[in-house]
Structures are given as C-alpha cells and as structure tokens.
Structure 1
Amino acid sequence: MGFFASFWTWLNGQLADYIGTNTARVGQALEPAIVTLGTVYVMVWGYLHLAGRIDEPFGMGLKRLVTLAVVLGGALHLWLYNSLIVDTFYRAPTQLAAALVGTPDPVSTVDSIWDRGGAVAGYLWSGHGFSPGAVGYYLAGAIVWTLIGLLCVYTMFLIALSSIALAVLLALGPLFMTLLLFEGTRRFFEAWLTQLANYALITILTVLTAALLLQVVASYAAQTAARGSAILTVDALNMVLIAVLVFLLMRQVMPIAAALAGGMALNSFGGVSRLVNWGLHQGTRATALTTAAFSNLVARPRRSKTIATTVARTF
C-alpha cells in the first residue's frame, strides 16, 4: 500500500464515526438553547395571533408547527438525519462517482503516478557521479520530483478536503437546523446547504476529473520509467509537461463546483489580486483626499481676498 492509499485509509477510519458521534454531542450541547428558542418561537406566534397580525391563522399555525417539529426532531433527536442528510451529501457523491468511473477512488492511480514519477526522478538523480555535466540531471530530477509531487498532493488535497469539510459541516447540522426557526437567521441554514452541495460536487468532480486525466500522467510516467538508467533529461520533458497541464486542469475543480452550488471558491490566488486592488483603491482614495485638501488650502486665501474686496466696495 502506497503513501496516499495509507493516508486515505486512515482518514476514512477517522471519519467513519466522526459525523454520528459529534452530531449527537452538538445536539446534546445545544438542547437547552434549542428548547428556549422553540418556546420563544411559539410565544412570538401567539403574540402575533392575538394582535391580529396574521392573515391566515390556520395556515400559518400549521406551517409553524411543522417547522417546529422538524427543527426539534432533526436537531435534538436526529430524525432521519443520518439516513437522509448524511447519506445524501456524504456517502452519495462518493458512490455516484465510483459508479461513473468504475473504481472506488483514484487514490491508487495517485500512488502509481508518485511511484513511477519518483522512479524517473531517481534515475535522473543517480548514476551520473559528481561531474560538472551531471548538474543538469540533478536539476531535472528535482524538477520531476517537485512537479509530480505537487500534482499528487493537490489531487489528494481535493479528495481529502471534500470529505473533511462535509464531515465537519454535517456534525454542525443541529446548530444550522435550529436557525430555521426565525426569518432573519434562515440565511445561515441556506448557506450551510450551499456549502454541503459545494463540497459534494467537489467530491464528484475531483473523482471524475482524476479518473480521466491521471491515467494520461500514469501512462507517460510508466513509459519514461521503462527507460531505466538510460534515461535522458529530454525523456522526462513530456511527463513533466503533461503533469503541469493536468495540475492546471485540476485547479479548476473548485471554481466549477462553487459556481454550480452558488458558493465561493476556495482560491488562494484570488486573495493576492484582492489585496492588490485594495491597495490601489486606498492609494487612489488617499490621492483624492490630498488633492481636495490642497485645493481647499489654495481656495481659502482667494475667498478671503474676494470677501475683503466686496466689503470695501460696499462701504
């Protein structure tokens, strides 16, 4: 079993009971607050009913009773929580992706790419002594290790991120279900559902994209590694280029999932652009304020002279 397969097995073992155990703990910890909010919810409805501010008492009352039953049953007693919400967002995406690609997960392919890419880098790194002409081989080996490792780590990052994020979000489910009671807090529940859909789509898109593209990298890595110690730096060029191309394509998984789910993509490169734009905006604003202040200082003596002239002419 390779490194990434070992990590994936360990992570699945950790997350196996994480959702059920922590969801029950969150529900127990929030039970007093949930009961209090439910009481306030009923009291507010009763006050509005007595004040005559409800146009359809029967319909609104039935709606509020159903909402209260769903919140109390789902948040406190976890009615259908595991069989409906957990299965839909946590288990169903993995099962759907596995059915589409025909394999349980692409982790075995990631391990294969890392092993063969490491073999290519090892052939380039060793067997050339310490002669001045061997510097290029050492540099090529380091580049192969870096780029292949970057591709494998990023692919595994997407797979692990979706599983961990879904587990944490589902464990906090009772908290967000409670926020369904009031109109002003329902947007938090909607945002929670959006994030669940976002990471579920990341799971599906990552597995499908990896199954499609990683096979190409694995094929190039196998062909290059087959040359053995007779390998040259130019032989590893095609493998490096296809690894970079697949890495750039894999980086589009999260923006696509975020666009489909209506969420926000986890993109670190966008933070740099926002920081630069903020700096330019602040610089422009400071320049405008300085110009306005300077204009006021210049205009004051002119106003004084104008006022003095007007007064002199008047008198």
Structure 2
Amino acid sequence: MTDFSSSPFESVSGYILKPLNEAMDMTVENLSGAISAPLNLASIIFIFLYGYNVMTGRVALSTHSLLNNVVKIVVVTTMATNADTFNIYVKNIFFNDLANAIGNALNDNKTGSNVFDYILLQASSRYQEVLAKAWFFEKILVGLLGFLMICAVIVFCIGGFIVQMFAQVALVMIIGLGPLFISLYLFNATRKFTDAWITTLVNFTILQVLVIMLGTIMCKIIVHVLGGSYDSIYILFPPVVVISIIGAILFRALPGIASALASGGPYFNAGLSSGGQIISMLSGGAKAGGNAAKSAASKLSGAASVASAAAKAAKTGAQGRGRF
C-alpha cells in the first residue's frame, strides 16, 4: 500500500455512514410527519385558550409572558415538525459540523484521507524502505519483524475505528428520536424527558469529540514515529509496537474515560464500574504478589533454617568423630 488507491477504513466508513445517514433522515422525517398534525392542533388550541384567558383577565399574566410562551411553542413546533429545520440546527451541528471542525483542527495530514489509512500508509512505506535496504539473507528476519509491526498497527487502527463508529451509531439513535423528545417540551409533565434527551445528546457529542481528540493525539504520536528515516527494522520495530499496544488499550478504555470526562451520561456508571474492576484486579494482583512474596520469603527462611540445622549437625558429627 503505497498510495490511497486502497483505503480500507475509508471504504468501511463510507459503507457504515451512508446507511446511518439514510436511516437517521428517514426516522426524523417519519417522526416529524407523524407528530405534525396533533402537535400543530394542540399548539393552536393552547395558544387560543391561553390568549383568551389572558385577554379576558381570567389568568393574571402579562402580555409579555403570553408572547414568550407563544415564541416557545412556535420554536418547538417548527423544530419537531419540520425535518429540514431539525437537520440544520440539530443533526448537522451535533453529528457532522462539530466533530468535523475539531477533527480538522487536530488532524493536519496533507492527504485529506482517513487518519487510520494514513497511519497504515506510513507504516507500509517505512517497512518497504527498510526491507529494500536489508541484505539478501536478512530479508527473512526483516520481513517477519515487519509483518508483526504491521499487525500491531492494524490492531491499533481497528480499535480506534471501532470506538469512533460506536460513538456515531449512538448519536444516530439519539438524534433520530429528536423530534419526538422535542415535542414533549410543550407539556410540564413530559418536559423532563426533553431535558434528559438534551443531556444525553450533549454527552454523546462530547464522547465523539473526545474520541476524535484522544484518538488523533495517539495517531500523531505514531505518525511522528513513523515519519523518521530508519536504516534498520530493529530501531523501528520496538517503538511502533509499544505505541500500537498502548493505543489499542487506550481506545478500548476510551468510552468510559470520555463519559467520565463528560461528567455523566449513560456510560458513566459503566466507566466507573470498569475502573473499579481494574482497581480491584490491580489490588488483587498486588495482594497475590504480596502473598507470593511472603510465601517465598517463608520458604527461603525455612530453607535457611534447615541448612543451618544441617550445618550444625554436620559440625556436631565431625566433633563426635574427632573424639573417637
């Protein structure tokens, strides 16, 4: 792979994101059409009755309060019943514009390709350069180490790509139900569901942003390592493999970390429980190591005491034989 004619992550991303966008657009359009008639009717009845009570003095509220409520109703009704308006102010901002803006600010590769394809290209290019400089009989060992290095980079890229797709699929589910939850804002009894939807939307958006941010930071590190000029695979192999393993572990723990940094969200408790399990595992390992060390120390001390007793017995025996 010396150019971007073969871009596996870009191709897979296109296969996934295209049906996701279509499903989200279809869900938003169907929900908007389904709730349009009852929501508009409820809004008209509410405005008429509320305005009539205010004008006749049956409700002690000012005209300013009436206008504020009317504006809220118009905004909520427009956002919930107009799919185009919803896509402009909700879908495009939270699903596309915000993540793309941050990703473009952090990712400065000149090719404009997927960052994981760019990493694979760099790793493959450096491997081919080192392989070309190797001696004839050395090519077997260089090829084996290069294969292991490419496998480590592939595992790293797959881990980051899976986490990125997870965040986008979650946003599709949350945004797709947006018109329904926005319409619930009109009523005091159901307004809490709209607040919960907004909180979840913001948390998953922050999750996607943090995935892009942390993932791009790790990608910058490994691209920086691969960007140097190397004469031997023995110099290139260790840092690439170590960074790839660390990056894969980081990507695996990234949803819990991102949710914790976002100060809540549906996966905050999962992140805390995962962290608690890790701490329990570490403490259990430390206790097991301490017990093993104590056992080894006791065995060593027992062996030392046995050796000391044997030495004393031998000395006593030698003295006894001397008397004879």
TM-score exceeds 0.5:
yes
Question: 1:30 maps to which residue?
Answer: 35
Segment of structure 1 superposing worse, 203-212 or 260-269? 260-269
Matched AA of 1:110: F
CA distance in 2, matches of 1:105, 1:155: 19
TM-score (norm 1): 0.61
Cα distance change on mapping 1:219 and 1:57 into 2, 3 Å: closer
Change (3 A) 1:261 1:189: farther
Deviation of the 1:46 alpha carbon: 8.2
Q: One-letter code of the match for 1:170?
A: I
Distance in 1 separating the partners of 2:112 and 2:45 = 50
CA-CA distance at 1:204 after TM superposition: 2.9
Corresponding letter in the other structure for 2:160: T
Alignment match, 2:207: 202
Contact persistence 1:98–1:104 (CA under 8 A): no
Total equivalences in the alignment: 258
Give the SS at the match of 1:263: coil
SS at match of 2:190: helix
Offset at 1:221? 5.5
> C-alpha offsets along residues 80-133 of structure 1, whole Å, 9 cap, x if unaligned?
32222223212221332244123599963313445676897xx9xx957xxxxx
Residue identity opposite 1:260 in structure 2: A
Name the counterpart of 2:192. 187
* Comparing 151-160 and 73-82, the one that deviates more: 73-82
Query: How far has the Cα of 1:203 moved from its partner?
Result: 3.2
Mean Cα deviation higher: 161-170 or 171-180: 161-170
Q: Distance in 2 between matches of 1:225 and 1:28?
A: 61
Change (3 A) 1:53 1:222: same
Pairing 1:6–2:8 present: no
Show the counterpart of 2:160: 155
1:47 shift after superposition: 11
1:71-220 alignment runs, 5 A limit: 71-78=76-83, 80-101=85-106, 102-103=108-109, 108-114=114-120, 127=140, 145=151, 148-220=153-225
Q: Give the corresponding residue for 2:247.
A: 246
**Distance of aligned partners of 1:188 and 1:149 in 2 relative to their CA distance in 1, 3 Å threshold:** farther
> Structure 2 counterpart of 1:241, which letter?
V
TM-score, normalised to structure 2, is 0.60
Q: Secondary structure at the match of 1:175?
A: helix
Give the deviation of 1:35 after TM superposition: 4.7
1:104/1:22 CA distance change after superposition, 3 Å: farther
Aligned-pair Cα RMSD in Å: 4.5
Q: How does 1:41-56 map to 2 (within 5 A)?
A: 54-56=59-61
After superposing the two structures, state which structure 1 stretch, 34-43 or 67-76, moved more: 34-43
CA shift in 2, pair 1:171/1:110, >3 Å:
same
Give CA-to-partner distance per residue, 1:47-89, whole Å, 9 cap, x none: 9979x99542534433332232222222123473222222321
Q: Partner letter of residue 245 of structure 2?
A: V
The alignment-based identity, stated in percent, is 18
Q: What is the rounded CA distance, in whole Å, between the counterparts of 1:65 and 1:178 in structure 2?
A: 14
Query: Does structure 1 retain, via aligned residues, the 8 Å contact 2:54–2:61?
Result: no
Q: Is 1:64 aligned with 2:66?
A: no
Q: Aligned to 1:80, what secondary structure does the other structure show?
A: helix
- CA positional deviation for 1:190: 1.8
Mean CA deviation greater in 14-23 or 36-45: 36-45
Residue ranges of structure 1 left out of the alignment (5+ in a row): 129-136, 277-315
Between the aligned partners of 1:53 and 1:149, the Cα distance in structure 2 is 71
Match of 2:257 among 246, 255, 258: 255
Whole-angstrom distance in 2 between the partners of 1:151 and 1:55? 64
Query: How far is the alpha carbon of 1:4 from its aligned partner?
Result: 1.0
Q: Take 2:199 and 2:112, find their aligned partners in 1: how far apart are those partners?
A: 26
Equivalent pair of 1:224/1:236 in contact (CA under 8 Å): no
Distance 2:275 2:100 in 1: 37
Separation in 2, partners of 1:259, 1:53 = 50
Q: Which amino acid aligns with 2:267?
A: A
SS at match of 1:183: coil
Distance 2:225 2:242 in 1: 10
Larger Rg: 2
